[in-house]
Amino acid sequence: MQQDTRISADVPDWSRERIDAFWEPGKKLIRAVRRYQYWRGRGAFGRMVSKYWVANHWFWSLVTQCELHLETEIGGGLRLTHPTGIIVHPRSRIGVNCMIFHQVTLAGPVVLGGHVDVGAGAKLLGPLSVGDHAVIGANAVVTRDVPAGATVAGIPARVISSGAPDS
C-alpha cells in the first residue's frame, strides 16, 4: 500500500510555531496573538489574562517592528522566518502553513490560502486573494488575485509559473 505524501492545504503543522529557543521573536509574536485570541471574551479572568498578552504582543511587535494585529485571522503553522518590518492589515486572513519573509506588506483585506510563501519585500495590495500553494517572489507588487499553485514575480506581479498543485 502506497502512503499519501500530498500536503493538505487545510491541515496546520503546529510544530512550525513551537518555540525551541529563547530568542525566536517571530514565534513569540505569533504566540502572543494566539493567546490573546484564546483569552479574550472568556469572562473577567480572561480579560485580565488577555491584557498580559496585549503587553506581550506590544513588546514583540516593538522588537520585530512588525504590525501583526491582534484581531488578524491566522491559520496554524505560520512562519515569520525573519520577522522584521512585516505589516499585515487587520482584515487580512492568513491560511495554514504560510511563510512570510521580512519587509512584506499585506495592504487591505488580503486572503492567503494554505501553504503560501511570500518572498522578502513583497507588497500585496488588496482586496485580493492568493490561492493554495502559491509563491510570491521577492519584491513583487501583487495587485490581482493569484491562482492556486502559481508563482508570481515582478512589478506589477505576473504569473511566471503556473504549476498546479498535485491532486
pLDDT tens figures, 53-70? 999 999 999 999 999 999
What percentage of residues in the chain have a pLDDT greater than 70? Answer: 92
- Average the pLDDT over 101-120 and give the result: 96
- What distance in Å separates the CA atoms of residue 129 and residue 87, rounded to the nearest whole number? 17
- Helix and strand numbers, DSSP H then E, in the chain: 2, 14
Instruction: Output the pTM of the full model.
Output: 0.87
C-alpha cell at 2: 502506497
- What distance in Å separates the CA atoms of residue 77 and residue 96, rounded to the nearest whole number? 6
Q: What is the mean pLDDT of the chain?
A: 91
Q: For the chain, how many residues are written?
A: 167
